[in-house]
Amino acid sequence: MEAEASRLAMATVRRHVWIQGRVQGVNFRNAAKQVADQLHLTGWVKNLPDGRVEAVFEGAGDALEQVLTWCRHGPPASRVEELQVQAEPATGEFLRFVVLR
């Protein structure tokens, strides 16, 4: 059982997220990149025209849980009202985490 939990924590997973609230103009994307880099995650983050932030994270399951927890509150100046999370198959297509403009 413990070995299975350890294997799942290390398995590469992918989450596509949309964050709604006061999340633009508050350094959300750059802060997300810093957190993703610290957790050794790959993917991207960008602002959407409707005021939300969209991101794709790939990496170890335990690191993904940590970044999702962070996304629920974001950086100090932000105010997250809603976090939508969609599980997707990991593709391994990313070499690093980037901020898209």
- Residue 91: Cβ within 10 Å count: 10
Which residue type is seen at 40?
H
Q: How far apart are CA 42 and CA 36, in angstroms?
A: 7
Domains of the chain, each with CATH number or no CATH: 2-99 (3.30.70.100)
Active site (annotated) includes residue 96: no
**pLDDT tens digit sequence for 16-35:** 999 999 999 999 999 999 99
| Catalytic residue of the set 27, 47, 79, 96 | 47
**pLDDT tens digit sequence for 55-99:** 999 999 999 999 999 999 999 999 999 999 999 999 999 999 999
The candidate with the shortest Cα–Cα distance to 88, out of 9, 36, 15, is 15
Active site (annotated) includes residue 101: no
Residue with tokens 């997220």: 17
Strand ordering across the sheet containing 79-88: 79-88, 12-22, 53-60, 42-47, 97-99
| Catalytic residue of the set 29, 30, 52, 96 | 29
pTM score, whole prediction: 0.90
